[in-house]
Amino acid sequence: MSASLDDMYRDIILDHYRSPRGREPLPMADFSTGGHNPACGDQLELAVKIDDDIVKDIYVDCKGCAISTASSSMLAEILKGKTVGEAKRIATIVRAMLKGDENVKIPEDLGDIDALEGVKKFPVRIKCALLAWVTFMEGLENYQNSTKKPDTLTTLE
Ligand code: ZN
């Protein structure tokens, strides 16, 4: 990877960190969930509004490092407006990419998310980038699998 590409990735991550998307609270959310990455101290609150099988809106508030905040901002930006199935597919791809699955390529229509690929070079930061995606997936699965909807807390091992 060239130095200029690294700079570009860093700029994208800093842009999301400085002006994170998805900060409007969602009082009518269909599910809300939390995430915690003890290795870094990142804390995340996530709320999702689903309407007619579409992810209508996402609220995400991340108190953590630049990587976790930028990653959660990207999640809010890219998953909003997607169908639930598509949102799940994207989160699965990003999670597999961050976990180092060489067979996974980030589709080009996912905007800024490829900037997260740069994080793979810094293994201690991978969990920071993963936090929002794993939290979203677990919250969604919990929402889909239960008739009552208790809040969940996802803690990365
Ligand atoms: Zn972090």
- Going by pLDDT thresholds of 50, 70 and 90, the confidence category of residue 46 is very high
What's the 95 CA to ligand 1 centre distance in angstroms?
16
| 19 alpha carbon – ligand 1 mean position (Å) | 17
| pLDDT greater than 90 at residue 68 | yes
The CA 147 to ligand 1 mean position distance, Å, reads 33
- Residue 2 pLDDT exceeds 80: no
Mean pLDDT of 77-106: 93
The pLDDT tens digits for 75-84 are 999 999 999 9
d(CA 155, CA 1): 32
pLDDT higher for 75 or 118? 75
Cα 42 to ligand 1 centroid, rounded to whole Å? 5
Residue of 74, 34, 94, 82 lying closest to 57 (CA atoms): 82
Q: Nearest Cα to 121, choosing from 97, 105, 103, 137?
A: 97
pTM: 0.90
* pLDDT exceeds cutoff 90 at 92: yes
What would the pLDDT profile of 132-145 be if each residue is shown by its tens digit? 999 999 999 999 98
Supply the pLDDT for residue 72: 97
CATH level 2 (architecture), domain 3-144: Alpha-Beta Complex (3.90)
